[in-house]
Structure 1
């Protein structure tokens, strides 16, 4: 009985050591007698789990919207009779494991992250990575992970200043993640300019986590090349990147609508060519982004971020989201563009003000006055502009509060329900706990 209690105490001792710095863990292990059976068992556990990291965060928030039942991209639509709500926006726990070969070089990384809220529990990351250690240049990632497109899309929700990503990224890259494989060029251990280069290129199913399974054989090719932050001078940091997605999905019926101008009239025209059934419908995105940070005295800083996307999206008449299942209704092909712009000022390491402007124009060939009159035009063709502003207070590395207000403006069209601005401005007050 005494031996069993000793084992349990020592086991708890070691697992507590896993959660703190490795140097401290090594110090604790030095106090275990590894010449005895119990000590040898604990040493093997320590060696196996000493590179595990557990982290996560909880975002609880209160929101107020202008009108009951408003549609929103600030955490989802409001229920029919609701104009204010408490909600758990995200509850993430992430497990990272890294194995080092010869105790010096990372050889394998494994990541598992799930999201738990009042709406259920969902997997967000489940992937592995293999490192190449001869040239120290490459790695291969496979599984479920974030698509390497753009800057805001890959900025963690725990680090992002605004409560949510822009409308365009939520629609075109819903849940941000997908199943796929990716090769990364990211030099390690170099002191020259290559240290600032990162290139990711991969193949993905294309539907993202909105789909339960892949429904065709077509894959999305995505590549992103970026320069990591580097000093232009002592006070200016600059980074930039470009992104490209070439993908699509199967056309399983013959009805496709393209936007065109015929005899001076713009509208959707039908293409019902039967021979095109089984071919790939297009999804092509292009992106460019840049970030400039101006460092001031007393830990203050001003940062400007700019990101622009444009391309072609195929979806249906009522939405520009990539379909999660094969459609039985006609397909609609639209040219789009949009942007995300941030202006941030940190007064010190605790207080920050932010302004964000984003727009998403799902159909750049239709003007506001044509929507509702042009053949086939729907609410999915309406451009939205969102101006947001907020205050962020960082109590410490583990706790922050965000107060943010979004002014959401839609085009005034000829379409019923959208002849004027819809009342969907949202205020968000969020508390984030991080560990």
Structure 2
């Protein structure tokens, strides 16, 4: 008997094989897709990790300092953030608004190899560059590095002490006049051992060449370069409760004399007075700019918290103009109109240069109140731009002396409260005193005391 196979049964049996085949393939391809997805995820993760790894040494920081100030009189001249407007004795202002970026490339031994930094100051007065420099480290001995670009001058303590850390709202008058904006363009070689076990780890030696005009100058107006050197000892434990640091500094430079008139102070029967040297050979000579400085910082650990004493003294010679003892940031010339063939003709003529011998200093007393969260601070500083004249000798008829020769001293004091590590409140008052002179404006002490109330936010 011939067997008859049901078409329906054959049909159903074939589909079982087809379904099984498709199922096996689906499982296979699903496993392959899952494996590919995992590989892709791993690849992406590795890519993200490599990006983070590349930028792990990139750091952003910054701070802003909004403040309110009240002056003793309207239009008061001030080194606490600039002069007041003629008809104003109080103001809100954004003293500083800094944004800083730093990147460090590490050597195999986790020591720096190359780094760079830039910092901007953003306030209601505009945007200015503050730092823009790079450093190259040698990694054989790990002792030296070279800095090039725009960076703080290596002189003294206060000039290099960051405004985000400094207890007083501003640097002293001396620091502001001698080192306006603190920074300059140049290059510097530093001896600064990086290894913790190095026997000379606490010693730093810096030597550099700079334009001398500072960052406030649009360009360097002469070919002369200024040398600055500093030898410093980093904070070192003298005993368990005493930590000492300090440095000595030297500045040797100058500025070109564009005119022939050079004034120097001499003693005469009528008193000290500026006398002029008008030799044609003065044109093109370098007016001497030379400073010597020393500073020290002592921390004393006690039951009341940390007590700190700081001091710095600078003496030297400073070229300037009749109305200012500050080295000019722009070419010290003026336009002179002469008549040639009945036609006006303008030419640049160098301003007279005044040579002055100066000295100045500041002293700090800082006391924590149990913890570093609260602190009281006292500061005294003076700047004598012309130590060869005193009191009523300034402004004496025929002496050639001006406001630029007046000695000022400032006693400042305040209270600091660190609300958090990122927020600081400062209440500060400056008693500013000038020596009495024969100048009408400064015949007696000018009313230019300043109250400053500041909040600083930093990250």
Instruction: Tell me the TM-score normalized by structure 2.
Output: 0.85
Shift in Å at residue 34 of structure 1? 7.8
- Measured against aligned partners, the alpha-carbon deviations of 1:374-404 in whole angstroms (never above 9, x if no partner) come to 5110010000000000000011211110000
SS at match of 1:96: strand
Aligned: 1:229 with 2:239: no
Shift in Å at residue 264 of structure 1? 6.5
Match of 2:151 in 1: 145
Q: How many residue pairs get matched?
A: 403
Determine the C-alpha separation between the residues in 1 that align with 2:123 and 2:208. Answer: 30
Match of 1:384 in 2: 408
- Measured against aligned partners, the alpha-carbon deviations of 1:392-430 in whole angstroms (never above 9, x if no partner) come to 001121111000000000010111111100000000000
Match of 1:335 in 2: 357
The runs of at least 4 aligned residues of structure 1 exceeding 4 Å deviation read 32-37
Report the RMSD for the aligned CA atoms in angstroms: 1.5
Determine the C-alpha separation between the residues in 2 that align with 1:283 and 1:290. Answer: 24
- Measured against aligned partners, the alpha-carbon deviations of 1:241-300 in whole angstroms (never above 9, x if no partner) come to 1000001111111011011113463110101111121111110011000111101136x1
Instruction: Note the 1:201-212 alignment, pairs <5 A.
Output: 201-212=207-218
Aligned: 1:356 with 2:379: yes
Match of 1:407 in 2: 431
Structure 1 residue corresponding to 2:137, chosen from 117, 128, 131: 131
Match of 1:6 in 2: none
Determine the C-alpha separation between the residues in 1 that align with 2:279 and 2:250. Answer: 29
Determine the C-alpha separation between the residues in 1 that align with 2:454 and 2:302. Answer: 28
SS at match of 1:46: helix
Determine the C-alpha separation between the residues in 2 that align with 1:193 and 1:265. Answer: 56
Moved more, 40-49 or 318-327: 40-49
1:392·1:403 contact (CA, 8 Å) conserved in 2?
A: yes
Determine the C-alpha separation between the residues in 2 that align with 1:430 and 1:133. Answer: 43
Determine the C-alpha separation between the residues in 2 that align with 1:367 and 1:160. Answer: 32
Larger C-alpha radius of gyration, 1 or 2?
2
Alignment gaps of 5+ in structure 1: 1-31
**Cα gap change, 1:345 to 1:52, in 2 (>3 Å):** same
Determine the C-alpha separation between the residues in 2 that align with 1:210 and 1:126. Answer: 14
Determine the C-alpha separation between the residues in 2 that align with 1:216 and 1:381. Answer: 26
Determine the C-alpha separation between the residues in 2 that align with 1:301 and 1:342. Answer: 13
**Cα gap change, 1:34 to 1:291, in 2 (>3 Å):** farther
Determine the C-alpha separation between the residues in 1 that align with 2:41 and 2:208. Answer: 48
Match of 2:327 in 1: 322
Shift in Å at residue 185 of structure 1? 0.5
Match of 2:453 in 1: 429
Match of 1:20 in 2: none
Aligned: 1:287 with 2:299: no
1:338·1:361 contact (CA, 8 Å) conserved in 2?
A: yes
Match of 1:370 in 2: 393
Determine the C-alpha separation between the residues in 2 that align with 1:33 and 1:219. Answer: 60
